Amino acid sequence: MIDIQENVSLRPYNTFGLEVIARYFVQVKRVEDLENLLQDPELRKLPRLLLGGGSNILLTKDFEGLVIRIAIEGIEVVNQDADHVWLRVGAGENWHGLVEYCLAHDYAGFENLSLIPGSVGASPMQNIGAYGVEIKDVFDSLEAIHLETGKRRPFSHAECRFGYRESVFKRELKGQYAIVSVTFRLNKVPRFHLDYGDIRRTLDEMGVGQPSIQAVSEAVVRIRRSKLPDPAELGNAGSFFKNPEIPKAQFDQLKARFPELPGYPTTADQVKVPAGWLIERAGWKGKRVGAVGVHDRQALVLVNYGGGTGLKIKELATNVQNSVEAEFGIRLTPEVNFV
């Protein structure tokens, strides 16, 4: 019997700590329970919202439907050869818990993705990434359930159509599938990615000569703790916007006006610009508007100091977008999913 609760506060289930009520709320621990739920004639009529760790959503109003929190657990070795091991992981597993499992077993590939909040099931949604690695680099396949037909469907790497903070599940198939498990291909021999950001400097500070995946993970954890607010202490959803990619010609024009503007070429004629720099230069860093604001150490992170609402954060985000656009001619796109 699946326990469906009524009028449940979602505050403990979103990292902004926003107080929003779900008309119906259910946690599913087994794929079969999800399948049964999707066949129920009454529940089928309701709007649905899938939820993992709630670390990439902005809840703007009460949800007059069924919130399904995916809590399917399990980590299983499904294949291995001399170089690789394939792990099938339940969508409800905690992401960093999986990273720690792999560190303990010497499975390499996740170390740069340490300490990202949220669930395994949401990780392919936006192809999570950090410190020069994205899950597309270790992703093998996933299994999802079509919310209308209840049918299971495997998705290959190509079918997920991963991009920077993007996948088919955020675009063409938005709201259509529940991801129930993800299979990753990890390396038995590490291939280190140490060139991004402060990783090498932090390893030096730690006194690490010869890197290991455990040391790289520890370095990433240290860097992240120094920059990003802990949602347990200050409500946030990580980067609120994506870093924009602009044509090189536009970048060159901006660079002439703002010589300090950082930029990272992504193709021969596209340059990625740090949104945090644009927001800081537009004067928003550390700015507080009532109970919400722009973080004082990382301008790309919007925060809820306590008692803020999703609508206030949305309003702040729009004001940030407008002023960055007026100053630099670049419209920032949110990374966070609005509900």
| Contact residue for ligand FAD among 17, 90, 121, 244 (CB under 6 A) | 121
109 binds, among ligand EPU, ligand FAD, none (CB under 5 to 8 A by kind): none
User: What is the C-alpha radius of gyration for the chain, rounded to an integer number of angstroms?
Assistant: 21
| Contact residue for ligand EPU among 91, 308, 335, 339 (CB under 6 A) | 335
β-pairing verdict for 292-294 and 301-304: antiparallel
Nearest distance, CB of residue 134 and ligand FAD, angstroms: 8
Q: What Å distances lie between residue 72 and 31, 92, 154, 239, 245, CA to CA?
A: 7, 4, 17, 27, 36
Choose the binding region for ligand FAD from 29-37, 207-215, 231-239, 277-285 (rule: CB under 6 A).
Answer: 231-239
Task: Give 90 or 254: the residue with its C-beta nearer to ligand FAD.
Answer: 90
Q: Are residues 116 and 205 in contact, defined by beta-carbon separation less than 8 angstroms?
A: no
Task: Give 52 or 293: the residue with its C-beta nearer to ligand FAD.
Answer: 52
Choose the binding region for ligand FAD from 102-110, 186-194, 228-236, 307-315 (rule: CB under 6 A).
Answer: 228-236
State how far the Cα of 293 lies from the Cα of 95, in Å rounded to an integer: 27
| Contact residue for ligand FAD among 50, 89, 138, 320 (CB under 6 A) | 50
Asked if 163 touches ligand EPU (CB under 6 A), the answer is: no
Q: What Å distances lie between residue 229 and 38, 69, 97, 199, 223, CA to CA?
A: 37, 24, 19, 19, 12
Q: 282-311: which residues touch ligand EPU (CB under 6 A)? A: 285, 298-300
Asked if 227 touches ligand EPU (CB under 6 A), the answer is: yes
β-pairing verdict for 48-51 and 63-70: parallel
Task: Give 80 or 337: the residue with its C-beta nearer to ligand EPU.
Answer: 337
Q: 238-257: which residues touch ligand EPU (CB under 6 A)? A: 238-239, 242-243
Q: If you write DSSP's letter for every residue of 173-209 in order, what string do you get?
A: TTTTEEEEEEEEEEESS------STTHHHHHHHTT-S
β-pairing verdict for 177-187 and 133-134: unpaired
DSSP letter at 242 equals P
Work out the end-to-end distance of the chain between its first and last CA atoms, rounded to an integer number of angstroms: 28
Half-sphere exposure of 261 (CA within 13 A, CB side): 24
| Contact residue for ligand EPU among 245, 274, 334, 337 (CB under 6 A) | 274
55 binds, among ligand EPU, ligand FAD, none (CB under 5 to 8 A by kind): ligand FAD
- Residues of the shown chain interacting with ligand EPU in the complex, contacts defined by CB under 6 A: 130-131, 197, 227, 238-239, 242-243, 262, 274, 276-277, 280, 285, 298-300, 335
Site of interaction with ligand FAD (CB under 6 A): 15, 49-57, 70, 91, 116-119, 121-123, 125-126, 128-130, 178-179, 228, 231, 236-238, 337
